[in-house]
Amino acid sequence: MTLLFLVPTALVFAISFKPSDPWGGIGAGWTLDTIRSLGNPNYPAIIWRTLWISFVTTACCLVLAVPCGYYIARAPQRWRRLLLLLTVIPFWTSFLIRIFAWKVLLHPEGHVKRGLVAVGLADESTMLLYRSEAVLLVMVYTLLPFAILPIYAAAEKFDFKLLEAARDLGATQWRAFRQIFLPGIQRGLLTAVLMVLIPSLGMYIIPDIVGGPRSEMIANKIAQRTFVDRNVPHASALSAALTLAVMAPMLAVLLGRRRREGGR
């Protein structure tokens, strides 16, 4: 497993330091030109957009997944199965089909648009599709199960007597939830953050389909450099930067976890 990950990653990093040739191949020798080209003034905006969409997606997923995980874990056994099934049912249809379904829904002639116009929340000229908010919405929808599952797994192991104990000691429901439940499912929360944040940072399909030119993310640029510009080293350099960005939160979490366990 580690090898399957490390070898291509190393290759990508290596290619970043190669020059490109005009036929889409990789030139001979080594150069820092490609790395320098990352200074392109277009990139900061795209990187910034990638970051905020990813973090907001993660935050939304957590806010939605924590109550979901809590209620599924507290539901009677036979309900629990059903609710879990409902959580994973979207996986039964292809990822692409679901995104296109959203495109249909958000389309100027789609149901969502017409519904919003009908209740007066939007007018005919409002554009739902091809903007960052659409990307965000579809990303939250797609990644939510990946947040619910680890949080549910942690909540299921949580001893709900502890919440009663906190209430007994004078805590309000909200305080017991915050100070006892959330720390109690901490591991699940961390896993959920990773499971949502990392795919978000590298998300390519969703901005491509429901996003417009002004909601491009970094992965779209990588694809563009590879398939349109045929500049593999440049794409590699971007990928390497993205890989580093993805590794950062993972390492932070791992280190944090190690320190906490060491401190016990």
Partner 1 sequence: MGDFLQFNEVTKQYGALKAVDGVSLHIRRGEFFSLLGPSGCGKTTLLRMLAGFERPDRGRVLLDGEDITDLPPNKRKVNTIFQNYALFPHLTVRENIAFGLRVARVADAAIKQQVDEMIELIQLGAHANKKPHQISGGQKQRVAIARALINKPEVLLLDEPLAALDLKLRQRMLLELDQIHDQVGITFLYVTHDQGEAMSLSDRIAVMHEGRIEQLGTPAEIYETPHSSFVAAFIGDTNFFDGRVEALTDKDYCRLTIEGFPPALCYNDKRKQPNELVHLSVRPEKFRISLEQPTLSPQHNLVEGQVQEVVYLGSQTKYLVKVQEYLLAITQQHSRFLLDQRPIKWDDRVWVWWHADDGYMLDRYREQDEALMEMPAH
| Closer residue to partner 1 (CB): 28 or 169 | 169
Can residue 93 be called a binding residue for partner 1 (CB under 8 A)? no
Contact stretch for partner 1 (CB under 8 A) within 69-77, 111-119, 181-189, 250-258: 181-189
Cβ proximity of 209 and 98 under 8 Å: no
Can residue 183 be called a binding residue for partner 1 (CB under 8 A)? yes
b/e map 245-259, b = 16+ CB within 10 Å: bbeebeeeeeeeeee
Can residue 76 be called a binding residue for partner 1 (CB under 8 A)? no
Q: How far apart are CA 196 and CA 217, in angstroms?
A: 16
Closest CA to 146 of 203, 206, 205, 188: 188
| Closer residue to partner 1 (CB): 114 or 260 | 260
Cβ proximity of 242 and 236 under 8 Å: no
CB of 165 to partner 1, least distance (A): 4
Kindly tell me which residue out of 82, 157, 168, 247 binds partner 1, with binding defined by CB under 8 A: 168
Concatenated DSSP letters of 229-249? S--HHHHHHHHHHHHHHHHHH
Kindly tell me which residue out of 106, 154, 180, 198 binds partner 1, with binding defined by CB under 8 A: 180
CB of 161 to partner 1, least distance (A): 5
What residues line the site for partner 1 (CB under 8 A)? 159, 161-162, 164-172, 175, 180, 183-184, 186, 264
